[in-house]
């Protein structure tokens, strides 16, 4: 198949209130090709995709589709031009069924006489998309709210596949914006397989990811954005992760990426020292979970999607109902909500920052200090000390390397990675006794990850007990003093991970599966 240019951008620029976010971007997207788009948080990747998918127009420059100049006023118009997007943040209506979500906005395509809907045809289109991603057809009738985050993210891709099918689009152009951040390993592998199949069938694909291993495995060439400009373009063949890191951040990735040199050797201490959690049961019915974390210790919690690891973190942090007992140095701590937990020295970074973390329309300053207004930034009468909040916010923005026009900029205008830095700064500057971090580097570029790892090490050095929950096994091993493996809502392994003697992935992964599952895989 001869590759043809589907999309050509010439001199694309985008300004926001005087700040240039994209500047002179030229690129071509060709059929049958997967193009990786990488860059640090705030480099302009999502802004570029927003221009291409009709979220907003460019400030200057031209967009051509199949050789003709076009304007893209909205996402529906983009679809009709053959342009489709899988968004980084999920956009599902939880009260609707999967089938209704996948084809939301295209109901007229299924209209019959007397205003009725051809539900059978709609179900056929929906199930074809689900099955292509290895998802059961029975999902079509289930409510989106009842599904795991991993399945919900797969639905974002299924929605694109269903729309392409419905419109009969030949050789579509598909933009994938951090599409695998919530997928488990199986879902990720199936996702990447479908990406390759689409390209083989003639699609042009732009793949945005901070997971450099993914970029290397699925793309044909790589584009690097830095400060709104395309600064490099390379064929993927022959590139290493170290090469991509250097192109993005201007330096070679440190051998101490996870800051292992800052990790302290922990010896077993008295049982009544540090944090102890007893009597915790996932959903109130699972096996009893017991956790012990010493002051200054980083404990990793790993497991497959649905294992119960996220629920354990939420219950420990007071974000989910639980009857467990938590003690600090042997003294019980009473709390029944996240606010109670914060006041008692327990802070929590949830996995879903979009709905449970940031106040998108509020300023960076507000988002940094909101967790401490009641006890750090108000006088005895409850009056907010605004000068103090401005000073603290400015210091935190500088300390955590948040890329922003200023502390009064709405946080919703920041990249996902910079939003994550703000959330981490919000809680760690309280110097808590227990830190619970769920997916702390999800959607964060490789350079920004290093600053987050440093912040976690600093919190541990100051005496905080840290519980890190992550789907990134290398991250868990590199950061943790111990790795706890969760399977079937129970902790089934406690694996030491001291500096200089880190376990291998192969030492950890077998504990994530039931023995019968491993026998099936090996046979």
- The CATH number covering residue 208 comes to 3.40.50.300
Where does residue 358 fall: left (phi above 0), alpha (psi -120 to 50 degrees), or beta otherwise? beta
* DSSP secondary structure letters along 320-351: S----EEEETTEEE--SSHHHHHHTTEEEE-S
In this structure, is residue 186 part of a structural domain?
no
Residues 441, 502, single domain; the answer is: yes
Copy the structure tokens of residue 248: 């993005």
Q: Do the beta carbons of residue 487 and residue 319 sit within 8 Å? A: no
Residues 513, 445, single domain; the answer is: yes
- What is the domain extent for residue 339? 260-345+430-522
Sign of CA dihedral 154, 160, 161, 162: positive
Residues 512, 440, single domain; the answer is: yes
Among 491, 153, 442, smallest CA distance to 307 is for 491
* Number of domains making up the chain: 4
Residues 279, 216, single domain; the answer is: no
**Which regions of 268-375 does DSSP assign to beta strands (E)?**
275-280, 289-293, 298-302, 325-328, 331-333, 346-349
Last residue of a domain, one of 221, 253, 285: 253
In this structure, is residue 449 part of a structural domain?
yes
Residues 136, 37, single domain; the answer is: no
User: ∠ at Cα 181 (177, 184), nearest 5°?
Assistant: 135
pTM: 0.71
* Locus of tokens 């090490």: 457
pLDDT in tens, the chain (523 residues): 567 999 999 999 999 877 888 999 999 999 999 999 998 877 889 899 999 999 999 999 999 999 999 999 999 999 999 999 998 766 788 899 999 999 999 988 998 877 788 999 999 999 999 999 999 999 999 998 888 878 888 899 999 999 999 999 999 999 999 888 877 777 888 899 999 999 999 999 999 988 888 999 999 999 999 888 999 999 999 998 888 888 887 655 566 677 877 787 766 666 567 999 999 999 888 899 999 999 999 999 999 888 999 999 999 999 988 889 999 999 999 998 888 999 999 999 998 877 778 888 999 999 999 988 888 888 877 788 889 999 999 999 999 889 888 999 999 888 878 888 999 999 999 999 999 999 998 878 777 788 889 999 999 999 999 999 998 888 999 999 999 999 999 999 999 999 888 998 889 988 988 776 655 544 4
**CA gap 81, 173 in Å, rounded:** 9
Residues 67, 133, single domain; the answer is: no
**CA gap 372, 367 in Å, rounded:** 10
**CA gap 105, 109 in Å, rounded:** 9
């Amino acid at each position: 198949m001869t590759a043809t240019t589907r999309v050509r951008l010439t001199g694309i620029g985008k300004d926001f209130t005087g700040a240039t976010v994209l500047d002179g971007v030229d690129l071509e997207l060709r059929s049958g090709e997967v193009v990786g788009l990488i860059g640090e948080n705030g480099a302009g990747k999502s802004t570029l995709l927003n221009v291409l998918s009709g979220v907003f127009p460019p400030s200057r420059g031209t967009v051509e589709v199949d050789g003709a100049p076009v304007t893209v006023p909205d996402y529906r118009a983009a679809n009709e031009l053959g342009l489709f997007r899988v968004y980084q943040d999920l956009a599902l209506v939880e009260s609707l069924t999967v089938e209704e979500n996948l084809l939301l906005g295209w109901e007229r395509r299924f209209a019959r006489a007397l205003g009725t809907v051809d539900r059978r045809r709609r179900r056929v289109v929906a199930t074809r998309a689900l099955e292509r991603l290895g998802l059961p057809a029975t999902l079509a009738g289930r409510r989106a709210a009842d599904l795991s985050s991993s399945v919900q993210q797969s639905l974002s891709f299924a929605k694109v596949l269903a729309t392409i099918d419905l419109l009969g689009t030949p050789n579509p152009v598909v933009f994938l914006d951090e599409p695998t951040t919530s997928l488990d390993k199986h879902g990720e592998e199936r996702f990447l397989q479908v990406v390759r199949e689409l390209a083989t069938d003639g699609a042009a694909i732009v793949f945005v990811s901070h997971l450099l291993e993914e970029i290397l495995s699925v793309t044909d060439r790589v584009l690097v954005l830095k400060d709104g400009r395309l600064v490099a373009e390379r064929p993927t063949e022959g590139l290493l992760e170290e090469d991509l890191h250097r192109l993005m951040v201007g330096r070679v990735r440190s051998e101490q990426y996870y800051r292992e040199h800052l990790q302290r050797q922990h010896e077993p201490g008295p049982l009544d020292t540090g944090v102890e959690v007893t009597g915790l049961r996932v959903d109130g019915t699972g096996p009893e979970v017991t956790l012990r974390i010493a002051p200054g210790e980083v404990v990793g919690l790993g497991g497959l999607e649905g294992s119960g690891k996220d629920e354990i973190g939420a219950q420990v942090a007071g974000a989910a109902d639980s009857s467990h007992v938590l003690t600090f140095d042997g003294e019980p701590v009473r709390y029944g909500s996240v606010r109670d937990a914060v006041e008692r020295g327990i802070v929590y970074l949830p996995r879903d920052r979009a709905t449970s973390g940031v106040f998108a329309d509020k300023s960076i300053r507000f988002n940094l200090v909101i967790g401490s207004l009641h006890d750090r930034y108000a006088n005895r009468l409850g009056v907010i000390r605004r000068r103090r909040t401005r000073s603290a916010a400015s210091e935190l923005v500088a300390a955590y390397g948040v890329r922003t026009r200023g502390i009064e900029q709405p946080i919703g205008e920041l990249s996902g990675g910079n939003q994550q830095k703000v959330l981490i700064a919000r809680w760690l500057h309280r110097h808590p006794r227990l830190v619970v971090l769920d997916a702390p580097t999800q959607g964060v570029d490789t350079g920004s990850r290093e600053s987050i790892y440093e912040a976690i090490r600093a919190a541990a050095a100051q005496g905080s007990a840290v519980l890190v929950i992550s789907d990134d096994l290398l991250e868990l091993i590199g950061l943790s003093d111990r790795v706890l493996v969760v399977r079937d809502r129970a902790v089934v392994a406690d694996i030491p991970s001291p500096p200089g003697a880190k376990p291998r992935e192969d030492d950890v992964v077998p504990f994530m599966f039931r023995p019968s599952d491993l026998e099936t895989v090996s046979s």
